[in-house]
Amino acid sequence: MNFDSLSILTIWTAVAIYAAAFIAYAFDLAKRSQVAADAKTAVPERELVGATVGGSGAGTAVVAGGGKSADAAPTRFVTARIGTALTTLGFVFHLAGTVLRGIAAGRVPWSNMYEFAMMGTLMIVAVYLAVNIWFDLKYLGTFIVGLVVVLLGGAATGFYVEVVPLADPLKSVWLVIHVFVATLGTAFFALAFALSVFQLMQARRESKILAEAPKTGPRFLATLPNSERLEGLAYRFATVGFILWTFTLMAGSIWANDAWGRYWGFDTKETWTFIIWVLYAGYIHARATRGWRGSRSAWLSIVGFAAVLFNFTIVNLFFKGLHVYSGLS
């Protein structure tokens, strides 16, 4: 068994562990729903306008007047911790599989769609786990780990290619710098995307509560931060991603000049990278200076990440250009 075969084995092991983590996080959401249902018996739901989440994963409902609900004792979501432990274990296998692919190739393992997906999802998990040191974002576990299972499993199934020598334009130090920063920026965009989805769900719940609607959506939302807090976190992560993406765009132009003798040629990949930059620049500018808050802000974040996925999949598979290195025939 060679290094590439070992890489495939460890990657599929990582996918299996991530799937187990996804199940644990799903049970966590079910537990949160039960906690919210129990809290509802102490405080009428129409008074709930959001929730704060403690550093250990505990949630405490907050009522409109600013006081705490009768269920003020911190709730420890054990299944969320199990999910995070499994995600960490999956990350170890994921990292091992990525390193083994690099050893097999004798270069950095991100020169085609399969390898980029492997590296990109690795960075998403790495950033998710790292951010959880400072912010308790375990409630995003189902979303983030589920996304990684789909992307990594799909790439291992549909995008896998044998190790081949690098194309001449890729034989550059910019392959290491440009692609690594791009994957790191994508990871922060993914977190902002997940937070924006939950922000929309939470905002809808809050509006229904204020309108005294009979149904207010999934109960687990009562244990999450309020929509304003979710929006603030999404904005912070999107801003970090935007800074990294700006560097990606600049580094790509320098690399293009080294490889093809021009900084910009409106190649398909170049154009879509710029479109993504414009979308997130618009998101940051509109929210900071135009007061675009709430659902409009969230939708801009979601559209931006959809463009990132489109750039990685559709552009690489169906568009021609100098930058398309899918590795697929």
What the block records as the tokens of 20 is 């187990």
Which pLDDT band holds residue 263 (cuts at 50, 70, 90)? confident
* Domain assignment of residue 199, yes or no: yes
Residue spans of beta strands (DSSP E) within 141-183: none
How does the average pLDDT of the chain come out, rounded? 83
* Domain assignment of residue 230, yes or no: yes
Least reliable range by pLDDT among 5-19, 47-61, 100-114, 261-275:
47-61
* Domain assignment of residue 53, yes or no: yes
Question: How confident is the model at residue 166, as a pLDDT?
Answer: 78
- Which domain, by its residues, includes 282? 3-318
Beta bridge partners of 62: 50, 68
Q: What is the mean pLDDT of residues 317-323?
A: 68
Question: How confident is the model at residue 76, as a pLDDT?
Answer: 67
> At a CB cut-off of 8 Å and minimum separation 6, what does 145 contact?
18, 21, 22, 25, 83, 87, 90, 125
Structural domains in the chain (count) = 1
- Report pLDDT digits (tens) over 169-194: 777 888 889 889 999 999 999 999 99
How many Å apart are CA 277 and CA 270, to the nearest integer? 11
* Domain assignment of residue 52, yes or no: yes
* Domain assignment of residue 324, yes or no: no
* Domain assignment of residue 284, yes or no: yes
Which pLDDT band holds residue 329 (cuts at 50, 70, 90)? low
pLDDT at 70 over 60: no
Question: How confident is the model at residue 285, as a pLDDT?
Answer: 87
Residue 182 · residue 247 · CB < 8 Å: no
Question: How confident is the model at residue 315, as a pLDDT?
Answer: 83
Most confident of 28-37, 57-66, 148-157, 292-301: 148-157
The angle that helices 268-289 and 227-260 make with each other, rounded to 10 degrees, is 150
Q: Report phi then psi at 51, rounded to 5.
A: -155, 155
Is 23 or 70 the better-scoring residue by pLDDT? 23
* Domain assignment of residue 216, yes or no: yes
What the block records as the tokens of 179 is 């692609």
Q: What is the mean pLDDT of residues 79-94?
A: 96
- Report pLDDT digits (tens) over 232-262: 999 999 999 999 999 999 998 888 888 777 8
pTM: 0.86
* Domain assignment of residue 11, yes or no: yes
